Amino acid sequence: MALITAEMLFQNNVLEIIRKIESDNKADIQRDFDEMPNLCPDLLTWMERNPAAVGRAFTQHLINYGFTNDDLN
């Protein structure tokens, strides 16, 4: 059995956020891939060009994980 590390937990959370971004923005992502292949050749580039979508997914992940204002202060 593999030892669970902080790095593994971080990676799992990042991948969960990315999957949520993909599912919530599927149509927009595909449209940009089709219409602007030079500007959006891959998902990471799309996320760089769409920080609002990434921010929403990140914030929702924090909320779902159980973070509160008290935790952040």
Q: 15-25 pLDDT, tens per residue?
A: 999 999 999 99
The DSSP code for 4 is P
Tell me, what's the pLDDT at 1?
62
- pLDDT tens per residue across span 29-50: 999 999 999 999 999 999 999 9
Contact status, residue 22 vs residue 43, Cβ threshold 8 Å: yes
Q: pTM of the predicted model, to two decimals?
A: 0.84
Q: At which residue do the structure tokens 């940009």 appear?
A: 32
Q: 53: Cβ–Cβ under 8 A, 6 or more apart, which residues? A: 21, 24, 25, 28, 47
Q: What are the residue ranges spanned by the domains of the chain? A: 30-73
pLDDT exceeds cutoff 80 at 3: no
